[in-house]
Structure 1
């Protein structure tokens, strides 16, 4: 049985270890007790959130502005009451993005939650990269679409001209010209077909399919549109009943990015966007459902919504290519899209992706 002096020495050593840990960690961390009083923070947290020594012992409510996260106190209360870890992306006053993890501090003897430990992982580069990647993908696909679209009309005109010339009197020089024209026309056709095959076919430039977790893709999209979510106050909920599928990562991310981004874009500013993402398996299909509370789509507009350069609301920023790309990606994989919408109330897009049984799993 250790003596009292030994117990005190052990406590002093434990406290010294804890102080050394807090002093040397490179991650911003806060320790907040059950009464929402700030008890300790690491040096990186001091620098990042402009904290000072006098903040220790103060209610977090008095310094919450330093974190630029208006639901921070509510999030802490939730973790204390439930004992469950909470993860969320937040933006700080210097406009950087962090993955905030709130972990319950549980007293081993009583198993009661006596506060929380909050860690912040800088994800600004990841968000920047994702946004840039989505921009490059959109520009690349728009360029390819524009080339294939714009080159079809000259091909058609050349074909009609060729047919007309073939009906003219058979002269040797004319025949030679026709042969050259025919050869050029076939060359252009081959270029277009090659371009389309390289984009959607199984050529070597085609991205490979892989086993994906839908929640990871949703998380990537959430990070890519984080500024829009913050500005609009959008609430994105999930009901994931089927989690895994085999698909091309870039294409699946593009599908979700466009649907979720549109849901935010086409919600009136008078109300915050509310988006529900559901996934489930229906027979041989992996179904992704995205429901919003936006302006809705009229029956007339639904007939043309997937056409290139078509937009529901011409005054809204965009190129009118997003849903065209979504439909092209889904159709090229053998899937389909359905729309259920009520103007003024909202819209539900359902994506049906055909899957072999071994590529999907239920939770």
Structure 2
């Protein structure tokens, strides 16, 4: 009898500790048992998911609409069955984004999963920041390209004018004033272009694209967060087979490469099947190869040679401005790399980005990691 009393007191203390933990946790958290009954939740979860005290002890299916995540019960069952942690980005009813972690609650003595603890970490601001950064990257690359193009024309005209001046020195100088006026006009135009760059836009793009040692898996995770709404809406499945992960490159440029290729793979999905995207990396000669394959609509052979042109789009029925692949090609070629594409209409496409490796990384291809989103 005395021993039973001690056991009961121990259970009461453990329950009080668990209750105290849930009441003082500052993040939304739920405890759901193996029968899918909602047993506990934190105050932030009450506010976030509009839960009430009377919901404790009720089946989760009765309040699943509060989460705006239709497969939450399937995900819980998967964790209970496999005993493995599940991580996923979800959007709640107020359109905020969360990193959802479902952890198995294991009874150690019985070695049995008796439920799950679900934690929600708010990543809305991070997704917004990543989207804004991606927008700035695209604007920055287009700005530099446009300026280079605009400067090229007056420079060409200036060169022609100087060449003509040299010829007229031999034949006479009667046309010298008009030619000089044209030269001065082109110089003025160049000054205006440069002034516009410095005064109106330069401060928005002062950050430098410095090269650093990067882990591609971290870049991929950032891109997946940025594209979380598109991934969630399309129900896209992303698999990764990372054979080589480290490379010295500019972070924003590497993000732009991966972002545009993955975004296109989702955007040009086939209407009759779930998008599947396979990201694979490996070394080939002096390059890291990032291969991104999809099962989308594919590209007609006559369009393959022009898809990397600025403002060129495969189809006008899909939203876009036609600069993504152009930027990817420019970034790669400017850094000594290249991009290739192999596509079959109706079956999908495979884009391969070749990034120049330095000698220290070339031999560091590590064990592959296979994951899925």
Which structure 2 segments of 5+ residues have no match? Answer: 198-205, 368-373
CA distance in 2, matches of 1:70, 1:357: 48
Asked whether 1:148 is paired with 2:143, we answer no
Asked whether 1:118 is paired with 2:101, we answer no
CA distance in 1, matches of 2:78, 2:127: 27
Distance 1:205 1:232, change over 3 A: closer
Which structure 1 segments of 5+ residues have no match? Answer: 196-203
2:250 to 240, 248, 265: 248
Contact 1:88/1:99 (<8 A) preserved = yes
Partner of 2:201: none
> What is the TM-score normalised by the length of structure 2?
0.86
Partner of 2:41: 41
1:256 Cα deviation from its structure 2 partner: 0.8
Query: Counterparts in 2 of 1:170-181, with a 5 A limit?
Result: 170-171=172-173, 174=176, 178=180, 181=183
1:119 Cα deviation from its structure 2 partner: 0.3
Partner of 2:18: 18
CA distance in 2, matches of 1:328, 1:89: 32
Q: How many residue pairs are counted as aligned between the two chains?
A: 352
Deviates more, 1:69-78 or 1:261-270: 261-270
> What is the TM-score normalised by the length of structure 1?
0.88
CA distance in 1, matches of 2:82, 2:304: 44
Contact 2:161/2:179 (<8 A) preserved = no
Deviates more, 1:274-283 or 1:328-337: 274-283
Query: Counterparts in 2 of 1:252-331, with a 5 A limit?
Result: 252-331=254-333
CA deviation map 1:15-50 (0-9, x unaligned): 111111111111111111122221111111111111
CA distance in 2, matches of 1:152, 1:118: 58
Query: Counterparts in 2 of 1:183-262, with a 5 A limit?
Result: 188=190, 206-262=208-264
Distance 1:78 1:280, change over 3 A: farther
Contact 1:79/1:86 (<8 A) preserved = yes
CA deviation map 1:293-325 (0-9, x unaligned): 222122221112212222211343222211111
CA distance in 1, matches of 2:119, 2:359: 40
1:188 Cα deviation from its structure 2 partner: 4.6
Where 1:76 maps in the other structure, the secondary structure is helix
CA distance in 2, matches of 1:120, 1:184: 59
Deviates more, 1:295-304 or 1:351-360: 351-360
Asked whether 1:362 is paired with 2:366, we answer yes
1:130 Cα deviation from its structure 2 partner: 0.7
1:217 Cα deviation from its structure 2 partner: 0.9
Contact 2:155/2:186 (<8 A) preserved = no
CA distance in 2, matches of 1:83, 1:282: 38
The alignment's C-alpha RMSD in Å is 2.8
Partner of 1:135: 135
Contact 1:159/1:185 (<8 A) preserved = no
Distance 1:358 1:112, change over 3 A: farther
CA distance in 1, matches of 2:144, 2:317: 25
CA deviation map 1:139-177 (0-9, x unaligned): 222122122123323332333343334323332882896
CA distance in 2, matches of 1:173, 1:340: 56
Asked whether 1:106 is paired with 2:106, we answer yes
CA distance in 1, matches of 2:346, 2:187: 49
Partner of 1:198: none
